[in-house]
A = this chain, B = another copy of it.
Amino acid sequence: MQISDLAERAKTASRVLSTATRDRKDAALRAMADALLAAGDDVLAANASDVEAARAAGTGEALVDRLTLTPDRLAEMAQGLRDLALLPDPVGETIHGWNLPNGVHVDQVRVPFGVIGMIYEARPNVTADAAGICLKSGNASLLRGSSSCLRTNRVVVEALRQGLESSGLPADCINLVEGGHEVTDELMRARGLVDLLIPRGGAGLIRAVVEGATVPVIETGTGNCHLFVDASADRAMAMSIMLNAKTQRPSVCNALETLLVHRAIAAEFLPAALDALTAAGVTVHGDEASRAIDDRIVPATEHEYEAEYLSLDLACAVVDDIDAALTHIRRYSTGHSETIVTADAANQRRFTAEVDAAVVLVNASSRFTDGGQFGFGAEIGISTQKLHARGPMGLTEMTTTKYLLSGDGQTRA
Protein backbone atom coordinates (compact mmCIF):
# COMPACT_ATOMS: atom_id res chain seq x y z
CA MET A 1 0.00 0.00 0.00
CA GLN A 2 1.15 3.55 -0.74
CA ILE A 3 2.14 5.58 2.30
CA SER A 4 -0.40 8.21 1.30
CA ASP A 5 -3.25 5.64 1.41
CA LEU A 6 -2.01 4.17 4.68
CA ALA A 7 -1.59 7.60 6.21
CA GLU A 8 -5.06 8.69 5.07
CA ARG A 9 -6.54 5.65 6.80
CA ALA A 10 -4.52 6.39 9.91
CA LYS A 11 -5.65 10.04 9.81
CA THR A 12 -9.30 8.99 9.58
CA ALA A 13 -8.84 6.59 12.50
CA SER A 14 -6.98 9.24 14.48
CA ARG A 15 -10.07 11.48 14.40
CA VAL A 16 -12.04 8.85 16.27
CA LEU A 17 -9.15 8.22 18.63
CA SER A 18 -8.49 11.90 19.35
CA THR A 19 -11.86 12.26 21.08
CA ALA A 20 -11.96 8.77 22.63
CA THR A 21 -12.39 8.77 26.40
CA ARG A 22 -9.64 7.54 28.68
CA ASP A 23 -11.84 4.59 29.66
CA ARG A 24 -12.05 3.50 26.06
CA LYS A 25 -8.33 3.90 25.40
CA ASP A 26 -7.42 1.98 28.56
CA ALA A 27 -9.82 -0.83 27.64
CA ALA A 28 -8.15 -0.97 24.22
CA LEU A 29 -4.69 -1.19 25.78
CA ARG A 30 -5.79 -4.13 27.93
CA ALA A 31 -7.42 -5.80 24.92
CA MET A 32 -4.19 -5.29 22.95
CA ALA A 33 -2.24 -6.97 25.75
CA ASP A 34 -4.66 -9.89 25.77
CA ALA A 35 -4.53 -10.26 21.99
CA LEU A 36 -0.73 -10.16 22.01
CA LEU A 37 -0.54 -12.96 24.56
CA ALA A 38 -3.21 -14.95 22.73
CA ALA A 39 -1.08 -14.71 19.57
CA GLY A 40 2.04 -15.58 21.57
CA ASP A 41 2.88 -18.84 19.77
CA ASP A 42 2.53 -17.20 16.37
CA VAL A 43 4.64 -14.23 17.49
CA LEU A 44 7.40 -16.48 18.79
CA ALA A 45 7.34 -18.65 15.64
CA ALA A 46 7.59 -15.60 13.40
CA ASN A 47 10.35 -14.23 15.58
CA ALA A 48 12.27 -17.52 15.35
CA SER A 49 12.21 -17.14 11.54
CA ASP A 50 13.47 -13.55 11.80
CA VAL A 51 16.24 -14.61 14.18
CA GLU A 52 17.25 -17.51 11.95
CA ALA A 53 17.41 -15.22 8.91
CA ALA A 54 19.43 -12.65 10.86
CA ARG A 55 21.93 -15.29 11.98
CA ALA A 56 22.17 -16.63 8.42
CA ALA A 57 22.91 -13.08 7.25
CA GLY A 58 25.79 -12.90 9.73
CA THR A 59 24.17 -10.39 12.10
CA GLY A 60 26.17 -9.79 15.27
CA GLU A 61 25.02 -11.40 18.50
CA ALA A 62 24.18 -8.09 20.22
CA LEU A 63 21.71 -7.23 17.45
CA VAL A 64 20.36 -10.79 17.38
CA ASP A 65 19.75 -10.52 21.10
CA ARG A 66 17.74 -7.30 20.65
CA LEU A 67 15.71 -8.98 17.91
CA THR A 68 14.99 -12.13 19.91
CA LEU A 69 11.70 -12.59 21.73
CA THR A 70 11.18 -15.10 24.53
CA PRO A 71 7.99 -15.90 26.41
CA ASP A 72 9.26 -13.63 29.19
CA ARG A 73 9.95 -10.74 26.85
CA LEU A 74 6.55 -11.18 25.23
CA ALA A 75 4.94 -11.08 28.66
CA GLU A 76 6.85 -7.84 29.36
CA MET A 77 5.49 -6.32 26.15
CA ALA A 78 1.94 -7.17 27.21
CA GLN A 79 2.57 -5.88 30.72
CA GLY A 80 3.89 -2.64 29.25
CA LEU A 81 0.54 -2.11 27.52
CA ARG A 82 -1.35 -2.83 30.75
CA ASP A 83 0.89 -0.42 32.65
CA LEU A 84 0.06 2.34 30.16
CA ALA A 85 -3.61 1.89 31.04
CA LEU A 86 -2.77 2.90 34.62
CA LEU A 87 -1.21 6.23 33.63
CA PRO A 88 -3.15 9.50 33.54
CA ASP A 89 -4.43 10.63 30.13
CA PRO A 90 -2.41 13.63 28.88
CA VAL A 91 -5.21 14.65 26.49
CA GLY A 92 -7.61 17.32 27.72
CA GLU A 93 -5.31 18.88 30.30
CA THR A 94 -5.77 22.65 30.48
CA ILE A 95 -2.26 24.07 30.61
CA HIS A 96 -3.25 27.71 31.00
CA GLY A 97 -6.56 29.50 31.06
CA TRP A 98 -7.27 33.21 31.36
CA ASN A 99 -9.75 35.92 30.43
CA LEU A 100 -8.95 38.60 27.89
CA PRO A 101 -9.83 42.12 29.06
CA ASN A 102 -12.98 42.00 26.90
CA GLY A 103 -14.23 38.84 28.61
CA VAL A 104 -13.22 36.27 25.98
CA HIS A 105 -12.00 33.20 27.85
CA VAL A 106 -8.86 31.47 26.57
CA ASP A 107 -7.85 27.90 27.39
CA GLN A 108 -4.70 26.22 26.13
CA VAL A 109 -5.43 22.49 26.17
CA ARG A 110 -3.48 19.36 25.34
CA VAL A 111 -4.60 17.47 22.24
CA PRO A 112 -3.07 14.58 20.28
CA PHE A 113 -0.81 15.28 17.28
CA GLY A 114 -2.89 13.02 15.02
CA VAL A 115 -0.64 10.57 13.16
CA ILE A 116 2.84 9.75 14.42
CA GLY A 117 5.42 7.87 12.36
CA MET A 118 8.05 5.80 14.17
CA ILE A 119 11.19 4.65 12.35
CA TYR A 120 13.19 2.17 14.37
CA GLU A 121 15.54 -0.77 14.34
CA ALA A 122 15.12 -4.51 14.81
CA ARG A 123 13.56 -4.51 18.28
CA PRO A 124 10.08 -6.04 18.34
CA ASN A 125 9.35 -4.70 21.82
CA VAL A 126 9.45 -1.16 20.35
CA THR A 127 6.53 -2.08 18.10
CA ALA A 128 4.16 -2.76 21.00
CA ASP A 129 5.66 -0.02 23.13
CA ALA A 130 5.38 2.72 20.48
CA ALA A 131 1.90 1.61 19.39
CA GLY A 132 0.75 1.69 23.02
CA ILE A 133 2.25 5.08 23.87
CA CYS A 134 0.80 6.60 20.70
CA LEU A 135 -2.61 5.10 21.47
CA LYS A 136 -2.69 6.28 25.08
CA SER A 137 -1.79 9.80 23.94
CA GLY A 138 -4.58 9.71 21.33
CA ASN A 139 -2.37 9.32 18.27
CA ALA A 140 -2.58 6.86 15.40
CA SER A 141 0.78 5.27 14.58
CA LEU A 142 2.66 4.33 11.43
CA LEU A 143 5.28 1.82 12.53
CA ARG A 144 8.31 1.46 10.33
CA GLY A 145 10.47 -1.22 11.94
CA SER A 146 13.52 -2.90 10.47
CA SER A 147 12.94 -5.34 7.61
CA SER A 148 14.90 -7.93 9.59
CA CYS A 149 12.06 -7.89 12.15
CA LEU A 150 9.23 -7.85 9.61
CA ARG A 151 7.81 -11.33 10.21
CA THR A 152 7.59 -10.64 13.95
CA ASN A 153 6.17 -7.14 13.49
CA ARG A 154 3.45 -8.40 11.15
CA VAL A 155 2.13 -10.82 13.75
CA VAL A 156 2.50 -8.34 16.62
CA VAL A 157 0.71 -5.53 14.75
CA GLU A 158 -2.06 -7.87 13.60
CA ALA A 159 -2.65 -8.88 17.23
CA LEU A 160 -2.65 -5.26 18.41
CA ARG A 161 -5.13 -4.31 15.68
CA GLN A 162 -7.41 -7.19 16.70
CA GLY A 163 -7.27 -5.98 20.28
CA LEU A 164 -8.19 -2.46 19.18
CA GLU A 165 -11.14 -3.65 17.14
CA SER A 166 -12.45 -5.86 19.90
CA SER A 167 -12.53 -2.80 22.14
CA GLY A 168 -14.43 -0.71 19.60
CA LEU A 169 -11.62 1.52 18.34
CA PRO A 170 -10.58 1.48 14.65
CA ALA A 171 -7.84 -1.04 13.79
CA ASP A 172 -6.26 1.67 11.61
CA CYS A 173 -5.06 3.46 14.73
CA ILE A 174 -2.04 1.11 14.48
CA ASN A 175 -0.37 0.44 11.13
CA LEU A 176 2.71 -1.42 10.01
CA VAL A 177 4.67 0.23 7.20
CA GLU A 178 6.16 -2.34 4.82
CA GLY A 179 8.34 -1.92 1.72
CA GLY A 180 11.77 -0.77 0.65
CA HIS A 181 13.78 2.36 1.30
CA GLU A 182 11.57 4.37 -1.04
CA VAL A 183 8.72 3.80 1.42
CA THR A 184 10.77 5.27 4.26
CA ASP A 185 11.53 8.26 2.05
CA GLU A 186 7.84 8.68 1.28
CA LEU A 187 7.00 8.47 4.99
CA MET A 188 9.57 11.14 5.80
CA ARG A 189 8.07 13.52 3.27
CA ALA A 190 4.35 12.91 3.92
CA ARG A 191 3.62 16.47 5.05
CA GLY A 192 0.01 17.06 5.96
CA LEU A 193 -0.57 13.33 6.45
CA VAL A 194 2.00 12.53 9.12
CA ASP A 195 2.12 15.05 11.96
CA LEU A 196 5.33 13.92 13.64
CA LEU A 197 8.16 11.51 12.99
CA ILE A 198 10.28 9.94 15.74
CA PRO A 199 13.37 7.98 14.73
CA ARG A 200 14.66 5.60 17.37
CA GLY A 201 17.95 3.82 16.92
CA GLY A 202 21.58 4.41 16.10
CA ALA A 203 23.21 7.65 15.06
CA GLY A 204 23.13 6.75 11.34
CA LEU A 205 19.40 6.09 11.28
CA ILE A 206 18.64 9.28 13.17
CA ARG A 207 20.86 11.40 10.93
CA ALA A 208 19.23 9.95 7.81
CA VAL A 209 15.76 10.84 9.11
CA VAL A 210 16.74 14.34 10.23
CA GLU A 211 18.41 15.05 6.89
CA GLY A 212 15.69 13.55 4.74
CA ALA A 213 12.46 14.46 6.50
CA THR A 214 10.18 17.37 5.70
CA VAL A 215 7.68 16.12 8.29
CA PRO A 216 8.49 17.57 11.74
CA VAL A 217 10.96 15.29 13.57
CA ILE A 218 11.92 14.76 17.19
CA GLU A 219 15.52 13.65 17.29
CA THR A 220 16.30 11.01 19.90
CA GLY A 221 20.01 11.43 19.82
CA THR A 222 23.17 9.84 21.01
CA GLY A 223 24.69 10.44 24.41
CA ASN A 224 28.35 11.31 24.64
CA CYS A 225 28.02 11.92 28.38
CA HIS A 226 30.73 13.53 30.52
CA LEU A 227 31.49 13.49 34.24
CA PHE A 228 33.59 16.34 35.63
CA VAL A 229 35.17 15.56 38.99
CA ASP A 230 35.87 18.98 40.50
CA ALA A 231 38.74 19.63 42.90
CA SER A 232 36.22 20.02 45.72
CA ALA A 233 34.45 16.72 44.96
CA ASP A 234 33.78 14.20 47.67
CA ARG A 235 36.14 11.49 46.38
CA ALA A 236 34.01 8.53 47.41
CA MET A 237 30.91 10.10 45.87
CA ALA A 238 32.74 10.80 42.61
CA MET A 239 34.03 7.22 42.49
CA SER A 240 30.60 5.75 43.11
CA ILE A 241 28.86 7.96 40.53
CA MET A 242 31.59 7.28 37.96
CA LEU A 243 31.35 3.51 38.38
CA ASN A 244 27.56 3.51 38.31
CA ALA A 245 27.31 5.74 35.24
CA LYS A 246 29.94 3.73 33.33
CA THR A 247 29.27 0.15 34.33
CA GLN A 248 25.67 -0.27 35.44
CA ARG A 249 24.57 -0.59 31.78
CA PRO A 250 27.30 0.49 29.37
CA SER A 251 25.29 0.03 26.16
CA VAL A 252 22.75 2.80 26.75
CA CYS A 253 22.72 6.46 25.81
CA ASN A 254 22.88 7.79 29.39
CA ALA A 255 26.02 5.80 30.24
CA LEU A 256 29.22 7.70 31.01
CA GLU A 257 31.67 8.03 28.11
CA THR A 258 34.26 10.60 29.25
CA LEU A 259 35.76 11.34 32.66
CA LEU A 260 37.24 14.82 33.22
CA VAL A 261 39.33 15.20 36.38
CA HIS A 262 40.46 18.49 37.91
CA ARG A 263 44.26 18.73 37.82
CA ALA A 264 44.47 19.51 41.54
CA ILE A 265 43.18 16.06 42.49
CA ALA A 266 44.14 14.00 39.43
CA ALA A 267 47.24 12.42 41.00
CA GLU A 268 45.16 11.26 43.95
CA PHE A 269 41.88 10.40 42.19
CA LEU A 270 43.03 8.66 39.00
CA PRO A 271 44.95 5.73 40.51
CA ALA A 272 42.03 4.91 42.80
CA ALA A 273 39.63 5.31 39.87
CA LEU A 274 41.77 3.01 37.74
CA ASP A 275 41.79 0.37 40.48
CA ALA A 276 38.01 0.36 40.54
CA LEU A 277 37.50 0.70 36.79
CA THR A 278 40.01 -2.01 35.94
CA ALA A 279 38.37 -4.31 38.47
CA ALA A 280 35.06 -3.66 36.71
CA GLY A 281 36.60 -4.53 33.34
CA VAL A 282 36.74 -0.98 32.03
CA THR A 283 39.53 0.14 29.66
CA VAL A 284 40.45 3.80 30.16
CA HIS A 285 41.68 5.83 27.18
CA GLY A 286 43.38 9.03 28.30
CA ASP A 287 45.40 12.08 27.38
CA GLU A 288 49.11 12.55 28.14
CA ALA A 289 48.49 14.15 31.52
CA SER A 290 46.39 11.26 32.76
CA ARG A 291 48.77 8.64 31.36
CA ALA A 292 51.65 10.32 33.18
CA ILE A 293 49.77 9.70 36.42
CA ASP A 294 48.65 6.13 35.76
CA ASP A 295 50.19 3.93 33.09
CA ARG A 296 47.18 1.59 32.99
CA ILE A 297 45.56 4.32 30.89
CA VAL A 298 45.94 3.66 27.16
CA PRO A 299 46.33 6.55 24.68
CA ALA A 300 43.11 8.25 23.54
CA THR A 301 42.62 9.52 20.01
CA GLU A 302 40.53 12.55 19.12
CA HIS A 303 37.85 10.15 17.87
CA GLU A 304 37.49 8.67 21.32
CA TYR A 305 36.46 12.01 22.80
CA GLU A 306 33.90 12.43 20.00
CA ALA A 307 32.16 9.07 19.92
CA GLU A 308 29.95 7.01 22.19
CA TYR A 309 31.68 3.80 23.20
CA LEU A 310 28.52 2.06 24.46
CA SER A 311 30.97 -0.48 25.89
CA LEU A 312 33.28 -0.97 28.87
CA ASP A 313 35.59 1.78 27.63
CA LEU A 314 35.99 5.24 29.05
CA ALA A 315 37.75 8.30 27.68
CA CYS A 316 39.61 10.40 30.24
CA ALA A 317 41.31 13.78 30.41
CA VAL A 318 42.87 15.96 33.08
CA VAL A 319 41.54 19.55 32.99
CA ASP A 320 42.97 22.64 34.62
CA ASP A 321 39.74 23.97 36.08
CA ILE A 322 36.00 24.26 35.55
CA ASP A 323 36.54 26.52 32.54
CA ALA A 324 38.57 23.83 30.82
CA ALA A 325 35.93 21.24 31.72
CA LEU A 326 33.18 23.46 30.27
CA THR A 327 35.23 24.01 27.11
CA HIS A 328 35.80 20.27 26.64
CA ILE A 329 32.12 19.52 27.17
CA ARG A 330 31.05 22.30 24.80
CA ARG A 331 33.29 20.83 22.13
CA TYR A 332 32.36 17.17 22.41
CA SER A 333 28.94 16.97 24.10
CA THR A 334 25.98 15.64 22.16
CA GLY A 335 23.71 17.57 24.52
CA HIS A 336 22.33 14.52 26.32
CA SER A 337 23.44 14.29 29.98
CA GLU A 338 26.37 16.06 31.61
CA THR A 339 27.42 15.63 35.23
CA ILE A 340 29.53 17.48 37.78
CA VAL A 341 30.58 16.11 41.15
CA THR A 342 31.46 19.07 43.32
CA ALA A 343 31.12 20.50 46.81
CA ASP A 344 31.58 24.04 45.51
CA ALA A 345 28.34 26.02 45.19
CA ALA A 346 29.76 28.50 42.69
CA ASN A 347 30.99 25.72 40.40
CA GLN A 348 27.65 23.93 40.69
CA ARG A 349 25.89 27.13 39.66
CA ARG A 350 28.22 27.73 36.72
CA PHE A 351 28.02 24.15 35.49
CA THR A 352 24.22 24.04 35.54
CA ALA A 353 23.93 27.47 33.92
CA GLU A 354 26.55 27.06 31.22
CA VAL A 355 26.26 23.45 30.07
CA ASP A 356 23.90 23.22 27.09
CA ALA A 357 22.35 19.77 27.43
CA ALA A 358 18.98 18.12 27.89
CA VAL A 359 19.91 17.05 31.42
CA VAL A 360 22.56 18.54 33.69
CA LEU A 361 23.31 16.58 36.86
CA VAL A 362 25.01 17.59 40.08
CA ASN A 363 26.25 14.84 42.40
CA ALA A 364 24.08 12.13 40.84
CA SER A 365 24.54 9.43 38.19
CA SER A 366 23.65 10.20 34.55
CA ARG A 367 21.78 6.87 34.54
CA PHE A 368 18.85 8.85 36.00
CA THR A 369 18.20 10.45 32.60
CA ASP A 370 15.33 8.09 31.91
CA GLY A 371 11.56 8.40 31.67
CA GLY A 372 11.06 5.53 34.09
CA GLN A 373 13.44 7.04 36.65
CA PHE A 374 11.78 10.44 36.18
CA GLY A 375 8.47 8.81 37.08
CA PHE A 376 6.89 9.26 33.64
CA GLY A 377 5.67 5.65 33.60
CA ALA A 378 6.37 5.38 29.88
CA GLU A 379 9.10 6.71 27.63
CA ILE A 380 9.16 6.96 23.86
CA GLY A 381 12.79 8.08 23.77
CA ILE A 382 15.16 10.78 24.97
CA SER A 383 15.18 13.95 22.89
CA THR A 384 18.46 15.73 22.33
CA GLN A 385 16.89 18.44 20.21
CA LYS A 386 15.62 21.70 21.62
CA LEU A 387 12.32 21.96 19.75
CA HIS A 388 9.15 20.71 21.51
CA ALA A 389 10.71 18.20 23.89
CA ARG A 390 14.15 17.92 25.47
CA GLY A 391 15.24 15.00 27.62
CA PRO A 392 13.11 11.94 28.45
CA MET A 393 9.77 12.03 26.60
CA GLY A 394 6.68 10.60 28.24
CA LEU A 395 3.02 10.76 27.26
CA THR A 396 2.84 14.55 27.67
CA GLU A 397 5.50 15.06 24.99
CA MET A 398 3.37 13.03 22.57
CA THR A 399 0.75 15.77 22.55
CA THR A 400 0.43 19.21 21.04
CA THR A 401 -1.87 22.00 22.18
CA LYS A 402 -4.85 23.95 20.91
CA TYR A 403 -6.18 27.31 22.04
CA LEU A 404 -9.93 27.40 22.69
CA LEU A 405 -11.51 30.86 22.83
CA SER A 406 -15.08 31.38 23.88
CA GLY A 407 -17.00 34.62 24.00
CA ASP A 408 -20.46 36.06 23.69
CA GLY A 409 -20.02 38.01 20.50
CA GLN A 410 -16.76 39.90 21.07
CA THR A 411 -15.17 41.58 18.05
CA ARG A 412 -11.86 43.40 17.69
CA ALA A 413 -11.85 47.16 17.88
A386 within 8 A of B: yes
Residues of B within 8 A of A409 (CB): 234, 236-237, 240-241, 363-364
Most chain B CB within a 10 A radius of its CB, from A98, A216, A234, A354: A216
- In the complex, whether A309 has a CB less than 8 A from a CB of chain B is no
B residues in contact with A361, CB < 8 Å: 404-407
* Residues on B with beta carbons closer than 8 Å to the beta carbon of A216: 217, 385-387
What residue of chain B has the Cβ atom nearest to residue A355's Cβ? B402
**In the complex, A348→B100 CA distance in Å?**
20
Q: A216-B385, A363-B406 are in contact. Are A411 and B244 (CB under 8 A)?
A: yes
B375, A100: Cβ atoms closer than 8 Å? yes
| A358 contacts the other chain (CB 8 A) | yes
- When all copies of this chain in the complex are counted, the total is 2
Q: Do the beta carbons of A402 and B359 come within 8 Å of each other?
A: yes
Q: How many residues of A contact B (CB 8 A)?
A: 70
Which stretch (A257-265, A274-282, A366-374) binds chain B? Answer: A366-374
Residues 376-413 of chain A, each 1 if its beta carbon lies under 8 Å from chain B, else 0: 00000000011110111000000011111111111110
A interface secondary structure, majority: mixed
Query: Which of A210, A245, A400, A401 has its CB near the most chain B CB atoms (within 10 A)?
Result: A400
Contact status B386-A196, CB under 8 Å:
yes
Closest to A405 in B: B361
When the two chains form their complex, are residues B248 and A405 in contact, meaning their CB atoms are under 8 A apart? Answer: no
Say whether, besides A106-B374, A244-B411, A411-B248, A196 and B387 are in contact (CB < 8 Å). Answer: yes
Indicate if the CB atoms of A353 and B405 lie closer than 8 Å. Answer: no
Is the beta-carbon distance between B387 and A387 smaller than 8 angstroms? yes
Q: Is A104 an interface residue (CB 8 A)?
A: yes
Residues of chain B contacted by A387 (CB below 8 angstroms): 196, 216, 218, 387-388, 400
User: A234: shortest Cβ distance to chain B, in Å?
Assistant: 7
Query: Cβ of A114 and Cβ of B386 under 8 Å apart?
Result: yes
